[in-house]
Structure 1
Amino acid sequence: MRAVVTTMSRRVVPAIGIGIGIGIGIGIAAIATGAAFVASGAMPERADAQMSTVPIDTSDPRLIAKGEYLAKAADCAGCHTAPPGGPSGKQPLHPSAPFAGGLGIESPFGTIWSSNITPDSVEGIGRYSYDDFARAVREGVAPGNRRLYPAMPYPSFAKINDDDMHALYAYFMHGVAPVSKAAPHTRLPFPFDLRWGLMFWSAAFAPDDVFVPQSSRSPQWNRGAYLVQSLGHCGACHTPRGPAYEERGYSEHSRLYLTGGTNDHWFAPNLTGDMGSGLGRFSEEDIAAFLRRGHGGGLVTFGSMVEVVEDSTQYLTDDDLHAIARYLKGLPAQASSGHFDDQSHAALRTVRALKTGDVELPGAGLYQGFCARCHQADGMGEPLKYPRLAGNPAVLSEHADSLVRLLVEGGEAPHTQSGPDPKKMPSFAGKLTDTEMARVLTFVRNTWGNDAAPVTTREVARIRQTLGK
Structure 2
Amino acid sequence: MNNRRFARTVGWLALAGLVAAALLAWYVNRQPASPFAQEAAASSEPALISRGEYVARLSDCVACHSLPGKAPFAGGLEMATPLGAIHATNITPDQGTGIGAYSLADFDRAVRHGVAPGGRRLYPAMPYPSYAKLSDDDVRALYAFFMHGVQPAKQPNIPSDIPWPLNMRWPIALWNGLFAPTATYAAKPSQDALWNRGAYIVQGPGHCGSCHTPRGLAFNEKALDESGAPFLAGALLDGWYAPSLRQDPNTGLGRWSEPEIVQFLKSGRNQHAVVYGSMTEAFNNSTQFMADDDLAAIARYLKSLPGDPQRDGTPWHYVTAEARPDSPGAHTYATRCASCHGLDGKGQPEWMPPLAGATSALAKEDASAINITLNGSQRVVAAGVPDAYRMPAFREQLTDAQIAEVLSFVRSSWGNSGGAVDAKAVAKLRGHTDPASSSPIILHMR
Q: TM-score of the superposition, structure 2-length normalised?
A: 0.86
- Does 2:55 align with 1:70? yes
Query: Which is richer in strand?
Result: 1
Q: 1:231 to 1:49 in 2, by over 3 A?
A: closer
- Does 2:124 align with 1:150? yes
| Cα separation, 1, equivalents of 2:107 and 2:37 | 15
Residues 271 and 350 in structure 2, CA contact (< 8 A), matched pair in contact too: no
| Cα separation, 2, equivalents of 1:465 and 1:70 | 37
| Cα separation, 2, equivalents of 1:310 and 1:46 | 36
Residues 338 and 453 in structure 1, CA contact (< 8 A), matched pair in contact too: no
Q: 1:420 to 1:106 in 2, by over 3 A?
A: closer
Amino acid at match of 1:237: C
Q: Paired residue for 1:421, among 387, 392, 398?
A: 387
Post-superposition Cα deviations, 1:195-253, rounded to whole Å, max 9, x if no partner, equal 22211111111111211111111111111110000000000000000001111110011
Q: 1:206 to 1:341 in 2, by over 3 A?
A: closer
Amino acid at match of 1:78: A
Q: 3-state DSSP class of the match of 1:371?
A: helix
Amino acid at match of 1:218: D
Equivalent runs, 1:301-340 vs 2, <5 Å: 301-334=275-308, 336-337=311-312, 339-340=314-315
Amino acid at match of 1:195: R
Amino acid at match of 2:239: H
Q: Which residue of 1 aligns with 2:429?
A: 463
Q: 3-state DSSP class of the match of 2:241?
A: strand
Q: Paired residue for 1:365, among 315, 318, 331?
A: 331
| Cα separation, 2, equivalents of 1:339 and 1:439 | 25
Cα deviation for residue 422 of structure 1 reads 3.9
Q: 3-state DSSP class of the match of 1:362?
A: coil
Q: Which runs of 5+ in 1 are unaligned?
A: 1-18, 24-40, 85-94
- Does 2:65 align with 1:80? yes
| Cα separation, 2, equivalents of 1:51 and 1:164 | 13
Amino acid at match of 1:125: I
Cα deviation for residue 255 of structure 1 reads 0.3
Moved more, 127-136 or 182-191: 182-191
Q: 1:397 to 1:338 in 2, by over 3 A?
A: farther
Q: Which residue of 2 aligns with 1:99?
A: 73
Amino acid at match of 1:254: G
Q: Paired residue for 2:141, among 167, 170, 174?
A: 167
Instruction: Point out the structure with max Rg over C-alpha.
Output: 2
- Does 2:353 align with 1:379? no
- Does 2:355 align with 1:389? yes
Cα deviation for residue 399 of structure 1 reads 0.2
Cα deviation for residue 454 of structure 1 reads 2.2
Residues 37 and 104 in structure 2, CA contact (< 8 A), matched pair in contact too: no
- Does 2:186 align with 1:201? no
Equivalent runs, 1:45-444 vs 2, <5 Å: 45-46=30-31, 53=38, 58-84=43-69, 95=70, 97-105=71-79, 109-334=83-308, 336-337=311-312, 339-343=314-318, 347-348=319-320, 350=321, 353-354=322-323, 359-417=325-383, 421-444=387-410
Q: Which residue of 2 aligns with 1:14?
A: none
Q: 1:365 to 1:181 in 2, by over 3 A?
A: closer
Q: 1:114 to 1:57 in 2, by over 3 A?
A: closer
Residues 212 and 243 in structure 2, CA contact (< 8 A), matched pair in contact too: yes
Q: Which residue of 2 aligns with 1:44?
A: 29
State the identity %: 44
Q: 1:457 to 1:293 in 2, by over 3 A?
A: same
| Cα separation, 2, equivalents of 1:324 and 1:276 | 20
Cα deviation for residue 342 of structure 1 reads 3.3
Q: 1:107 to 1:323 in 2, by over 3 A?
A: same
| Cα separation, 1, equivalents of 2:405 and 2:105 | 56
Residues 135 and 185 in structure 2, CA contact (< 8 A), matched pair in contact too: yes
| Cα separation, 1, equivalents of 2:384 and 2:67 | 24
Query: Which is richer in helix?
Result: 2
Post-superposition Cα deviations, 1:286-334, rounded to whole Å, max 9, x if no partner, equal 1111111211233011111111111111111111111111111111003
Q: Which residue of 2 aligns with 1:6?
A: none
Cα deviation for residue 143 of structure 1 reads 1.1
Residues 41 and 104 in structure 2, CA contact (< 8 A), matched pair in contact too: no
Amino acid at match of 1:147: R
Q: Which runs of 5+ in 2 are unaligned?
A: 1-19, 436-446
Q: TM-score of the superposition, structure 1-length normalised?
A: 0.82
Q: Paired residue for 2:412, among 430, 446, 450?
A: 446
Cα deviation for residue 47 of structure 1 reads 7.8
Residues 277 and 336 in structure 1, CA contact (< 8 A), matched pair in contact too: no
Q: 1:333 to 1:106 in 2, by over 3 A?
A: closer
Amino acid at match of 1:337: D
| Cα separation, 2, equivalents of 1:55 and 1:116 | 20
Question: Aligned pairs, how many?
Answer: 412
Cα deviation for residue 258 of structure 1 reads 0.4
| Cα separation, 1, equivalents of 2:385 and 2:266 | 8
| Cα separation, 2, equivalents of 1:338 and 1:376 | 26
Cα deviation for residue 413 of structure 1 reads 4.3
| Cα separation, 2, equivalents of 1:48 and 1:81 | 29
Cα deviation for residue 341 of structure 1 reads 3.8
| Cα separation, 1, equivalents of 2:50 and 2:211 | 28
| Cα separation, 2, equivalents of 1:260 and 1:339 | 18
